[in-house]
């Protein structure tokens, strides 16, 4: 390969690999944090609103959220008071994390599942650890893809700059 092509390819692969590894780390940390420190709740799987949403293998969950309380950090460094909504308003959200190609039968509409959500951002939800499908293979795949892209990119950059 010519040097400009090698340099460009190396830069692209390095950027892609780095971004993918960063995304993997942030996502894993978020899921772990929510399972450990999130508010536990029982959610009900609800039917998808239209056909396009039904193609998503991640179920749509409805769960009650306690919205009466003090200030909540919106994640932007500012503090906002919550509106005095009734206790237990329902939130509709899809859980974060690994989902299979097809939705398992135990996640059919009407099923009850245990979840943990972020009290500051109630739409951030994960299935409880005992409800979660094994996510290790998918997490390893994405981490391996990111590591491979980063290693390939750094190799090409080393060749181009030699």
Token pair recorded at residue 92? 């509709």
Task: State the total domains in the chain.
Answer: 1
% of the chain exceeding 70 in pLDDT:
80
| CA 79 and chain centroid, separation | 24
Q: Determine the Cα–Cα distance for residues 102 and 133; give it in Å rounded to an integer.
A: 12
Write out pLDDT tens, residues 66-99: 765 433 433 333 333 344 444 558 888 888 876 6
Q: Residue 78: how many CA atoms within 13 Å on its side-chain side?
A: 4
Whole domain around residue 154: which residue ranges? 3-160
The predicted model scores a pTM of 0.69
């Amino acid at each position: 390969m010519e040097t400009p092509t090698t340099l460009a390819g190396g830069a692209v692969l390095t950027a892609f690999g780095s971004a993918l590894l960063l995304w993997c780390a942030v996502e894993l940390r978020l899921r772990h944090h929510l399972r450990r420190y999130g508010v536990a709740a029982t959610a009900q799987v609800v039917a998808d609103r239209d056909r396009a949403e039904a193609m998503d293998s991640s179920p749509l969950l409805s769960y009650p959220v306690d919205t009466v309380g003090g200030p909540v950090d919106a994640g932007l460094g500012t503090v906002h008071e919550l509106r005095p909504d009734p206790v237990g308003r329902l939130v509709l959200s899809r859980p974060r994390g690994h989902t299979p190609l097809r939705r398992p039968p135990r996640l059919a509409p009407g099923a009850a599942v245990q979840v943990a959500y972020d009290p500051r951002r109630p739409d951030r939800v994960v299935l409880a650890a005992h409800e979660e499908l094994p996510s290790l293979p998918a997490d390893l795949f994405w981490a391996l893809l990111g590591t491979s892209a980063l290693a390939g990119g750094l190799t090409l950059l080393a060749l181009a700059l030699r």
